[in-house]
Structure 1
């Protein structure tokens, strides 16, 4: 009887926990985006105009603001404005480091092409005999490292679990890696799930 109740309890948790956590994340981000409305003058904020608060309007406002910014910075004048602003930030030591790092990370995540993960790999890390899931981050050769080692070197990101946004950047010889025939999304799901969700080979 107790085992049966335990099984039902676990089954219920597996249904409700993902829903609850997802709703918490949605609420968290909606609240953050709603705060962007405060950038508008008080007289033009939706709460003032319609007389009551509508959750989620901040999301719409943020999307419109970001899209408008994207349109602006893709033309000549916008590019000059961004370049001028970045030149100012580049003169402030701490701000320069933070801004540069955040921008490069976002470019890596959002930009397709040479700045995205290339392949899913297995590497012996953190020591011989222990293998870790990793991602090849670039196809560019590391000429200086290759001159020093006499080997073809590969830039590899080893993610932590269950948070794959942190991890370790390591440089390993190409001969010491194993390429896996699985896609990036499947490998990330495996990392997030602590290995519970195993990827299938690409067809």
Structure 2
């Protein structure tokens, strides 16, 4: 029984990552293939070739993104984007949603953006319980006016899905800055602590 149990868990360790990876890739490709709906039906690859080949939607999405990016990178494109932003900003309700989403996307996807600046260790959700979080900036405006000490904006992600989490404002002195990359910290969070980040070089040398 011990040998069977060992073989079972070994099989799971080998198969589960591959199955989950294949499922995620299949979901991504299937979702992006839906972009083919914007093409005239006569232009669909299924109609032209007579059979379905998954992945054409991925190529179409990349082509659209590259085309829009190339257009928006020149002078005329920037003027067109600015005109569109100004038009949307005049529409009630829509402007509040659009401006919020645009600020987040500009932070996440722009070359100068750094949504997660530093990985830190904080006590959450109560004193004595520690978790890994990310500094996203510093309070400003009216919020900063009410804070008498040096505070930072912190995002505390949930496990194993880091896209959900909590935004909190903590004293900078209560955050322990970690010597690990953002990618390593995210991997640590997603794996629920199973995949430990590599030790800092200074700590490794001290041993």
Q: Same fold (TM over 0.5)?
A: yes
CA displacement, residues 111-170 of structure 1 (integer Å, 9 cap, x when unaligned): 3445331111011222222222111112x5636555433211111111111111111111
CA distance 1:201–1:187, change in 2 (3 Å) = same
Is 1:36 matched up with 2:35? Answer: yes
- Cα distance in 1 for residues equivalent to 2:95 and 2:142: 26
For the residue of structure 1 that corresponds to 2:95, the secondary structure is helix
Q: Which moved more, 1:77-86 or 1:95-104?
A: 95-104
* Distance across 1 between alignment mates of 2:197 and 2:127: 24
Aligned to 1:130: 129
Corresponding position of 2:153: 155
The 4+ residue runs of structure 1 with deviation greater than 4 A are: 143-147
1:26 matched to 2:30? The reply is: no
Q: Check 1:143–1:174 CA distance in 2 against 1; reply closer, same or farther (3 A cut).
A: farther
In the alignment, the residues of structure 1 paired with residue 112 and residue 199 of structure 2 have an alpha-carbon distance, to the nearest angstrom, of 23
Pairwise CA RMSD of aligned residues?
A: 2.0
Contact 1:108 1:116 in 2 (8 A): yes
Equivalenced residues, count: 201
TM-score, normalised by the number of residues in structure 2: 0.87
Equivalent residues of 2:106, 2:113 under 8 A apart: no
Structure 1: which 5+ runs fail to align? none
Q: Does structure 1 conserve the Cα–Cα contact (< 8 Å) formed by 2:152 and 2:171?
A: yes
* Cα distance between partner residues in 2 of 1:144 and 1:178: 26
TM-score, length of structure 1 as denominator length: 0.88
Q: Whole-Å Cα distance in 1 between the matches of residues 64 and 77 of structure 2?
A: 14
Q: State the distance in 2 between where 1:40 and 1:146 align.
A: 50
* Contact kept in structure 1, 2:158 and 2:164, CA below 8 Å: yes
